[in-house]
Amino acid sequence: MQAAAILPPQAMDRNCFSELIRRHHLMLLSYARALAGTEVTARDLVQDAFVAAWQSLGKFDVTRDFGVWLRGIVRNKWREHCRLHAREVILDEAALSRLEETLAPYDAGDAELFARLAECRAKLPPPLAEAVRVFYDEERSSDDAAAALAMNPAALRKRLERAREALRHCLATNN
């Protein structure tokens, strides 16, 4: 078995590292949001992970995928966060593995798609945006989401249908 090639610190300068971070930023933010459940905590986790990655860059195994390595750092930062904030619910290893499997097909090139999707979501009218947030971001069932929004489940499903159509149209037309 061949030993893993470890990246010499001088092999990656600040510009190269910055470019890799730009390519992976949205994917990592999505991953951190799924772990943390809140935007603020997700942004903190990603920022802390970038600092840790820069400090540990000499230990990066160039035979591994950079995005996978960064997700591992974010996951470790999440575990650290949970230890410090014991009241928050931590995802178990099975849930973390499923999340990793979900993100595996997406590479850094998909960051543009995630960015466009975020822009399109920001353009949704408030009732549609709130339905998407409660149903998808909070991962509630349609009955639970409808109750949270004080509407019946059929109306929520129709609202989500309209939101998905608006997002499809926005992504297809780039506006």
Contact 165, 132 (CB under 8 A): no
161, two tokens: 């249908």
Tokens 């802390």 -> residue:
48
Alpha-carbon dihedral sign for residues 45, 32, 18, 14: positive
pLDDT at 102: 67
The Cβ of residue 64 has, within 10 Å, a number of other Cβ atoms equal to 13
Give 10-residue mean pLDDT values along the chain (175 residues): 43 77 87 83 92 86 82 89 69 67 61 76 91 83 89 91 89 75
Q: How far apart are CA 78 and CA 131, in angstroms?
A: 27
pLDDT given at position 82: 81
Angle subtended at Cα 52 by Cα 15 and Cα 7, rounded to the nearest 5 degrees: 60
- Domains contained in the chain, CATH given: 9-106 (1.10.1740.10), 124-173 (1.10.10)
Write down the pLDDT at residue 48: 93
Separation between Cα atoms, residue 26 and residue 5, nearest integer Å: 27
Distance CA 101, CA 109 (A): 17
pTM for the structure as a whole: 0.48
3-class DSSP state for residue 63? coil
pLDDT of residue 45: 93
